[in-house]
Structure formats: structure tokens, C-alpha cells
Amino acid sequence: MQMRRRSFMEAALAAGSLALPGLARAGQVAAAAVAPDSIEPLIDYLVRTRFQDLPAPALAMTRAQLLDTMGIALAGRGEAGVRELRELARELGGKGESVVWGSPLRVPAHDAARINAVMVHALEFDDTFGRGYLHPAAITYPAALAVADLVGGVDGRELLTAVTLATDIACRIAISSQPGVDGFATGWHNTTLIGYLAAAMLAGRLMKLPPARIVDAVGIAYHQAAGNAQSHIDSALTKRLGPGMACAAGVFAARLAMRGVTGPRGVLDGKKGWYAQYHRGLASHELLLGDLGERFPAEELSFKPWPSCRGSHTSADAALQIVAEHRVRPDQIERVVIRNGPAEWPFLSNPIERKRRPATVVEAQFSIPWVVAAALVDGKVRIAQFTQDALQRADILAMTARTSAVQDDRLANPRGGPGQAVVEVATRDGRVLTKHVVAAKGDPQAPMSPAEIEAKFADCMDYAGLPNAQATALRQLIAGIDRVTDVRSLSAAMAMSA
């Protein structure tokens, strides 16, 4: 691995990227990249790395992602946005190349990638790379399995390798873009924006394109790349559709590149490349390329125990701990005060009247007062609390009416990503019950155990209505993914008759 690392570093240095200071400003990125763009050492790394080159912790994370992602995808198969896309794909028709999970439908590969990605993202239950405000698995597995269905012969180890590498590169792009600037403040939906590039890379590797053609594919995808946070603010369904748009475009871009269509080469460092055009020219090439193949930022991934925005989870954990430790009942609670950091409060707790009475499921997923109230009322946070019917529950609404939220800058996460939270519950008998949570359940500092991830998968299977025998067979197939000779069998296991 040491020799491989040297080759990646030499390629990066040839690109002029590691010669930059840790942070480059507008104009410096393009000027410093005097030879190949920084995309080239990344693609070299993507193409040349083999399963046996990857460290065990990175592969273990990718295996856990697979179980988690397949579970939440099937649980999300009936959600708004997914239904409409599936119906439209059925109406439009096309070559049946790839499986639409949770259905008997087969559609063109890019359409399957689109629908399946939205399925993964719909419940706000997908994995998170906190420092980069990124949900990698909403992109990686939908794109990879759609392409694997298309080309055939992709074994389990190649699937794990491709997903591990694409996740690593996506995380590196995320943290190297405007480093030190809060992810919410950039205005981008990173999962969607970066997803265009990551999906094209994945598709290119699994289609066995040569490096130059993969650069073309990424360039074609970059030409389409978008994804802003206004849908978060407006609680629009496009929030969950974004990763699907990225996946479809990335897969389609690879197919165009395979046929000789060219894309821009200066994808990252060009005068109008990624950093200059989308990130004010602010970039850290050390974060992008440093220790490539040796250090895996994706090992910091968090798995979600609760189906809501990751920024709400420290608050949810605090509320759940108060209930568990003090056995407080909803009728005993007089008022609730939630303290959030500067990343969460403006986005997830304000304006308070809107957050107390979410009008849509997306709005509830992005409301800390709703999540905390649900936790205090039910003693748990589950998918069933985030349905249109649940939004009318009088008991949860009565609790949100007694809930307020304030910003506390001391609760910011110095490393970036979701911050800390303090929840104060004042009871009718005069007690004030307080809990301060630094790291949410599922974070690297407080990881979910393998048993907890398995339990989450089982809950998702129940919610999806998957027969026990099929759920067991799917779990066993995922557990033995290293031995699978063609992962089309996994796609087949993800299909459902209705």
C-alpha cells in the first residue's frame, strides 16, 4: 500500500495541488493547477485501487452502510416523491435495465438510480458525514446497483470497493470546499451537488471506463451539477428528490462518455471549475488529496437512529434521556426549552411558530421542536411520527405549544457539522430536568452498535411490509456480500411484487 500511496501523492503533486497552502482563494486555484486538474489523481485512485488495498475499518463502514441503506430504502418506497417518480417511470416506459427497489418494475438504469436514490433519502434516515453535511449512501448505492444491473458481472467485492472509494472522494470534496464555512451557510445541498460527481465516478468505474473517459463523465456531470438549500427552507419535496437527480445525471453522463462525448477537464481547479464557480475559490487541496488511500474521512460516518435531520439528533437524544432517567410523563411537563448552536437554531428551530406546527412531513423532519416533542410524548422517535396523519396528533402538538428554542453559540461544533444541544424540561411540580448532549447517538464518538443497526433494519422491514422470509433472505445476502459473484442478485432481493 505504501507504493500505491506514493503514486497517488506523486500524481497529486504533479497537479500542483499539494503545493498550495492549506487554503486557496479565488484565482489561486486555477493559477496553481498548472498541469492536470486535481480530478485526475482522484480518478487514478478510483481506478487503480483494489479491494485488498482498502483498510478493514473502511470496508466495515461500507458493509454497515449497505445494510442500513437497503433497509431505509424499502421503508421509503411508499413516500411522497417516490410514488410519483415510480408512476412516471412506468408511464414513460423504456428498456428494463435496472430494478426499482420495492417494486416489480425495471426501467432504464438512470431512471432506476433516480428513483432508488429518492427512496433512500425520503425518510431522512440515511447515513451522514457530519463535517461535510453529506449523505453519501443516498448517492453511492443507488448509482452503483443501477449500473451493476446494467453491466452484469459485478461481484460483491467490486461493489464494496467502488462504493468505498466514491464515498471517500465525495467526503474529501465536501470538506475541501469552503473549509471552515458552516455547511448550512454555503446555501448548497451537498448531497445533491457532490452527488453528480460521485455518481459519475461510480458509474465510470463499474462500467470499466478508462481514466480519461471517467474524467469526461465527471465533467459532463459537473456541467449539470446543482442543488441548493432553498428546498430545505421551504420544506419542499425537492429536498428528497435532489439526490435522485444527481444519480440519474451521473449514470447518464458515464454512458455518454463511453460513447465519446467529452466533458470539461478542469472540473475542480479550472477557471470556472468546482471551487471557483461554486465555492468562491475557497479550497483546501490538503483536505482533498492529503494521505489519499491512507486516511479515510468516511470512517467518520454517522448512522441515524432517528428519522429526522441529523442536526436534530442531539436534541432528540437529550429529550429521550430525560424521559428514560426521570420517567417523566407528558402531563407532568409544563414547558420545554431547547438550546441549539448557530448551525441548528436558525434552520431547525426558527421560526418557532412554524416549527411547532409543521404543515408537511419534510417540515417535521426539519423541526427540532417537533422531534423533541415526539420524543417526550412517546418516549421514542420513529418513522410513524413523520407522516401526514401524525402531524395532526393533538398530544404532540400540545407539547410543541409548550416548547421554545434559543440559540447558544457555545454549542457549536468546532470541527463542523451538527452541534451540541441542551434540553430543559420544567415540570408542574417545580423540577427542572436538564440534559446536555455533545455527540448524537450514531456519531463516531457514540456509535450505533452492529446490533442496533440490525434492529433498525428490522424496524424498516416491518414498516415496509416485507414478509419475514424475504427480509431474512435479504439480510443474509447482505451479510455475505463479499462472496456474491453478481450483485444483480441483491437487486433481485430488493424487488417486491407490489
Contact in structure between 140 and 166 (CB atoms under 8 Å): yes
Distance, CA of 285 to chain centre:
23
Q: Which residues of the chain have pLDDT under 50?
A: 1-3, 5, 13, 15-22, 24, 26-34
What domains sit in the chain, N to C, each tagged with a CATH number?
A: 2-300 (1.10.4100.10), 310-437 (3.30.1330.120)
Reported as type and span, the H/E element at residue 334 is strand 333-340
At 10 the pLDDT is: 53
At 36 the pLDDT is: 82
At 34 the pLDDT is: 42
pLDDT digits (tens, 9 = 90+) for 5-37: 455 555 554 544 333 334 545 444 444 444 589
Nearest to 216 by CA among 244, 247, 256, 243: 256
How far is CA 272 from each of CA 136, 215, 285, 311, 431, rounded to the nearest angstrom?
25, 16, 17, 32, 58
Residues in the chain: 498
Rounded-to-integer distance, Cα 384 and Cα 97, Å: 34
- Within 8 A by CB and 6+ apart from 472, the residues are none
The pTM assigned to this predicted structure is 0.93
Nearest to 342 by CA among 410, 422, 403: 410
In this structure, the number of other CB atoms found within 10 A of the CB of residue 337 comes to: 16
Scan for cell 462525448, then name that residue: 261
Q: What DSSP string describes 352-370?
A: HHHHHS-SSHHHHHT-HHH
pLDDT digits (tens, 9 = 90+) for 459-490: 999 999 999 999 999 999 999 999 999 999 99
